[in-house]
Amino acid sequence: MYLNSKREDFFKSFQISCQGATSVTTFVVFLCDKIAPALRQAVYERTAKSIAEDMQGKFPDFQGSRANLEVCILRYLAEQENFEYFKEYLTYPKQFSQSYIEKEVQNYCLDGSRRLEKFLDSSLDLLYRNILSAVTSSTQIVKDRIDREDRISLWLDEFCRELTEAMNLPRSDLKSIEHQEVSDIEFLNNVMANAVADLRDSLRKEFADADMSVFSRQPHTILAEQFSGCWEQCPFCGAVCTNTIPKHDGDHRLVFHRPKALTGWSWLDRHCQFEICSNLIQSDCRFRFSGGEWFPYKTYRDAGPPVSTWNILPDSSMQAYWKWFVCRFRTELEALHSLKFQGRGEIPASWQAITKQQALSELGSP
Ligand SMILES: [Zn+2]
Ligand SMILES: [Zn+2]
């Protein structure tokens, strides 16, 4: 009799502890299934930001204004010395700048040192520690509340609250497990800690093959936002307005206008106009847009928009960079715009003497 009752007790408690273990496991599996996608997303978001911040600290390209970035791009273009790149930059300055930044980010993240994986790992480590500390503090808070019947619900409240900043894990998604009966909170704590470590390990394996496509908000997009502003191009030379506010009030303006030949302007005899617009507006010359009415440069605003929306200040100086460029890519420019650097469009001899090195040192260092 005695033995029998002992055996019954033993079986009872065994059953209870099995049930307890099962319900803890069910609880943890369910919770980790919810944490996994939220954690992955949080790692990507945090990583995109840290890559952008890291590059802002290390690359002179990203340490200043858009004017500074432009100097970096002009240097890059001169180093590459590829007319196709120039053409793209001159025609679509905004797109070119964005893809320039994108390329920089890709090289930085995916070169031999596999920085992308390291960035992902360190974000993962940080978030992993956040989750662990949320587990510990939720357990701590609930442990002493033997008076409460809804301890698991309380645990979940605390857990989600702790993680609010770190990731998107809505408490409402966890309603179906909040009434789970878990008596041994310490046991839950330990199972949870192990499960979260497993989750970290499997994500880490996943990151070994990661490429830039994992980011919904790309690091290069974050970097490019710093250079937002007006992207209107001078109707004469194609240089970009330097105002830092998109759709700003007042006139568009910029400091360094360029030779008009870059955008294909010519004299009537199809001879190139190597002149710079800020100098032409001081001359007695006239202009017209594709067969339209003629206007004196001196009163260029009379031509209406888009010219009238620009404030072009008289300035006869021209960057050596563009003089070098016109000489270096003379043939390509002639072919591109079906023009000739002849007669009135003959390139001044002084331009020919400018070396790439001179052009670059005048640009200054970023
Ligand atoms: Zn211009
Ligand atoms: Zn503007």
The answer to whether the pTM exceeds 0.75 is: yes
For residue 250, the ligand closest to its alpha carbon is 2
DSSP 8-class letter at 177: G
- Around ion ligand 1, residues with a beta carbon closer than 5 Å are 234, 236-237, 257, 277
Q: Please enumerate in sequence order all residues whose Cβ is within 8 A of that of 248, keeping only pairs 6 or more positions apart, or say none.
A: 230
What pLDDT is attached to residue 268?
A: 76
Neighbours of ion ligand 2 (CB under 5 A): 230, 232, 241, 243, 252
Residues near 221 by beta carbon (within 8 Å), at least 6 away in sequence: none
Are residues 227 and 97 in contact, defined by beta-carbon separation less than 8 angstroms? yes
Confidence class for position 203, pLDDT limits 50, 70, 90:
very high
**Centroid of ligand 1 to alpha carbon of 119 (angstroms):** 43
79-113 pLDDT, tens digit per residue, is 999 999 999 999 999 999 999 999 999 999 999 88
Residues 323, 356 contacting (CB under 8 angstroms): no
289 Cα to the center of ligand 1, angstroms: 14
- Measured in Å, residue 202 CA sits from the centre of ligand 2 at 50
- Kindly list the domain boundaries of the chain, sorted by start residue: 11-220, 260-363
Higher-pLDDT residue of 13 and 261 is: 261
97 CA from centroid of ligand 1 (Å): 19
The CB-based long-range contact list for 150-159 (8 Å cut-off, 24+ gap) reads: 150/178, 150/179, 151/182, 151/185, 152/27, 152/177, 152/178, 152/179, 152/180, 152/181, 152/182, 153/178, 153/179, 155/185, 155/188, 158/134, 159/134, 159/135
Starting from the CA of residue 252, give the closest ligand: 2
d(CA 353, ligand 2 centre) in Å: 34
